[in-house]
A = this chain, B = another copy of it.
Amino acid sequence: MSEGDFIKTLVVVSHPDISNSQTESFLKKGSEQVDVIWHHVESLKGIDVDFERKLLASCQRIVFQFPLYWYSALAGLKDWIDKVFSRNYVYGDGQYHLADKEFGLVVTTGLAKKDFQIGGIESMTMDQLMAPYRAFAARAHMKILPLFLVDQFWYKTEHQQQQLLIDYQRYLNQDFPDSLVNRQAWFKERLEEFVAGLGESDKHVGGLILDTFVQQMDELDQLGDTLKMIKDGEDDGLE
């Protein structure tokens, strides 16, 4: 992927009462800053399968986002899945229309992450509960991303919420895996956008910060190369 060319992401959101959900409002605002397609299934007036498939085709990353309700998404998302994804579309006749797209899950829950484990309140892990979605993604030959959990949003401090927001934005359109190099590239892009939007008086300082950031990236890059050379040398010695 060339610089300045973010992944296009479709966020398929299922929520029964989204206008009254402050967690969803918070996430939606965050999503607007990174320019993804926010697609709320319960707001659709009927499901236009052709339109939905065009949306899917236009995106490289597909994310299902929902509150956990009896251990899966509400019926609305399943209805959308059942209607949009025919067998033929997903894997019929050797054609995989979703192949190589990335598949993510954003799950919000009122319980804490620690409750989902053997010995916890729920005795099953979130990954175990997500088996049907992952089986679908695997069948469609999609790349499965780690789950993004938003647990107990309302117990979080404002600082934790802000951290969550950035992590969420990175989940939506940063390259995977979540490595230092991919993080740097993502933050650089965000910083460039931010500096471009500054007033004339701030632009100079902003530019300097950006230059410093890029310089540090380059230095880290060079250090990485040096380390690699040393390691290669050691490996040669071992032969």
Residues of A within 8 A of B (CB): 69-72, 74-76, 78-79, 81-82, 85, 122-124, 128-129, 131-136, 138-139
Contacts and interface: CB of A to CB of B under 8 A. Distances in A.
Contact of A72 (B72, B85, B138): B72
A76 B79 CA distance: 8
Contacts of A71: 131-133, 135-136
Nearest to A16: B82
B136 A123 contact: no
Number of copies of this chain in the oligomer?
A: 2
Contacts of A74: 78, 82
B123 A72 contact: no
Given A72-B78, A78-B78, A82-B75, A135 B124 contact: yes
B122 A70 contact: no
Nearest to A125: B131
Contacts of A138: 123-124
Nearest to A110: B87
15 contacts: A69-B82, A70-B78, A70-B85, A70-B136, A71-B132, A71-B133, A72-B132, A75-B76, A75-B79, A78-B78, A123-B135, A124-B135, A124-B138, A129-B135, A131-B131
A138 B79 CA distance: 25
Contact of A131 (B75, B76, B124, B139): B124
A132 B78 contact: no
A87 to B, nearest CB: 9
Contacts of A82: 69-70, 74-75
Contacts of A76: 75
